[in-house]
Every structure is written in C-alpha cells, then in structure tokens.
Amino acid sequence: MKNYWLMKAEPAEASIDDVLAMPNATVGWTGVRNYQARNFMRDGMQVGDGVLFYHSSCAEPGIVGIARVASGSKVDPTQFDPASPYFDAASKPEAPRWLLVDVQVLHKTRNFTLPQLRADAELAELLVLKKGNRLSITSVEARHWRHILQTLGVAAD
C-alpha cells in the first residue's frame, strides 16, 4: 500500500527550485533531527510514496510541489561533518543516529499556503494543521492527498 507524506523544507536551504535544478530533480533529505521524523523515514517510507513538498520558515509557508520518495533510508552524512549545522558529536559512524531518504520532485505547483490549507474544511484533520505539530515530516491520509492534488490541478498518481 502506498503511503503519503508532507515534508517540510526551508527554502533558504533547499527550495523546490533548487531541487528541480539538481540531477534527476532529486535531493537527499538531510538534517532531520527529530526521532519520530527519523523513524518515519526508517520504518514508514517506501520508494514511490507520495510527498507534499512544503516550504516552511518563510514569508508564505505552504505546499509548493509534488514529489516522491526516491530511495530507502540511508545514513545522513551531515551528522558527521563538524562544519554542518546538523553535526551531531554524539553520533558515531559505527552507530549513526540520523537517516535520510532521497526525494524527487515531480511537479512544482502554485503555493497552497498555510492559510488556504486551514480554510479548506476538507483538510481540517491534516496533521500539519494540528495545534502544536512542529514535525518536519508528517503522514498524510490518502483522502487528503487526493483532495490536495485535485485542488492544485495535478493528475492523481
């Protein structure tokens, strides 16, 4: 069964345009430093799962594209790089703490902004809209996935 995810990226670090300019429009989703989000990548994500690419920590947060999980989980090398803002001195190569998946952008969309998401009654139960939810990766129900694609005018997968 295919799963669906919303994955947040700060456009100053990896915007949808940056990813579209990368080979195969694919980026390693580095820098996740929350155990629950890491576990989603490790235990829940499979190649081919759908991804809502979400810009966060910016002037107009929102869904800006449709992507897919393009690899299984693997070790995030930024945890071992002292020059990286994601360096984790407690993580060791023989026992890494942090993982990543590769994400491939399929479609850039208009920005489905956070206020627009909140105003859409069909999306009231979307996890990213729940009070207090700050996770960088959240699961998305199939009904929400279909509604968002329809709203954005993107053909369903």
Q: Between 156 and 47, name the one with better pLDDT.
A: 47
Residue 157 belongs to a domain: no
30, 76 Cβ separation under 8 angstroms: yes
Residue 138 belongs to a domain: yes
Residue 59 belongs to a domain: yes
Residue 21 belongs to a domain: yes
**What is the C-alpha separation between 64 and 67, in angstroms, rounded?**
10
Structure confidence at residue 133 (pLDDT): 83
Q: Any idea what the CATH number is for the domain that residue 77 is in?
A: 3.10.590.10
What DSSP line would sit under 3-64, residue for residue?
-EEEEEE-HHHH-HHHHHTSGGGEEE------HHHHHIIIII--TT-EEEEEE-SSSS-EEE
pTM for this model (two decimals): 0.95
Residue 30 belongs to a domain: yes
Structure confidence at residue 157 (pLDDT): 65
Structure confidence at residue 110 (pLDDT): 97
pLDDT (tens digit, 9 = 90+) per residue, 58-96?
999 999 999 999 999 999 999 999 999 999 999 999 999
Q: How many domains does the chain have?
A: 1
The domain of 128 spans 4-152
Q: Does residue 11 surpass a pLDDT of 80?
A: yes
